[in-house]
Amino acid sequence: MISLWSSLLIAATLAGTPVPNTQRSRSAITRVQPQLETKLKSLGINWGSPLFVRIFKETKELEVWLQKDKAFVHFKTYPICDFSGELGPKLQQGDSQSPEGFYFVSPNRMNPASSFHLSFNLGYPNKYERARGRTGDFLMVHGDCVSIGCYAMTDPQIEEIFALATAALEKGQPYFRVHSFPFRMTKERMAKSKGSKWHDFWKNLKEGYDSFEHTKIPPNVEVSQNRYVFNTPK
């Protein structure tokens, strides 16, 4: 027999975790939710479906993908207003470099009271980066179109992304993944990067890129022997 406590715990898990909110974030979500729900309905996607984000520095694009059945489908591509630095990973605090790698955003990393309208924290440095002694903190995707190491969007864009993320987390997604790449990691584009000091690092990122391209399911990401390793969730 399942105890009352177990029943409550299961119910809480299924319901998701409340996302921090402010009057600003509540107003933003109220403003953008109707038009987002209309588009979702036309695609056969439910409000609050699990979310996945990909970032491409070179083309300054942020993609939002949402789960439909088991796989994820492309919902919208947002132009990135600004990011800092060049192609390549962030190495240390103060280098004004936007990160590249694999991150996840849990409810407590959502910031409805950001100095840059609304934001979410990527969680840099991740396990891979910590193992390599990389430093820095508060690397965000945020509004206000100003970057000092973060990925900056316009306020209307971050409102939509924040609303979709909030809905997914509160419907039960424990966290959403953010994969940040220097460019679209096609065979042709990778060939052009062979002279870069980051080519081997990018080859490792490409493994994760290719996994999603093949399955349309964000891979589980682990770190082993100082490199990223990937497997497809069952």
- Point out the catalytic residue in the list 117, 142, 179, 199: 142
Residue 142 annotated among the catalytic residues of the structure: yes
- Point out the catalytic residue in the list 150, 179, 199, 214: 150
Beta carbons of 78 and 142 less than 8 angstroms apart: no
Residue 150 annotated among the catalytic residues of the structure: yes
Q: What positions carry a catalytic annotation?
A: 142, 150
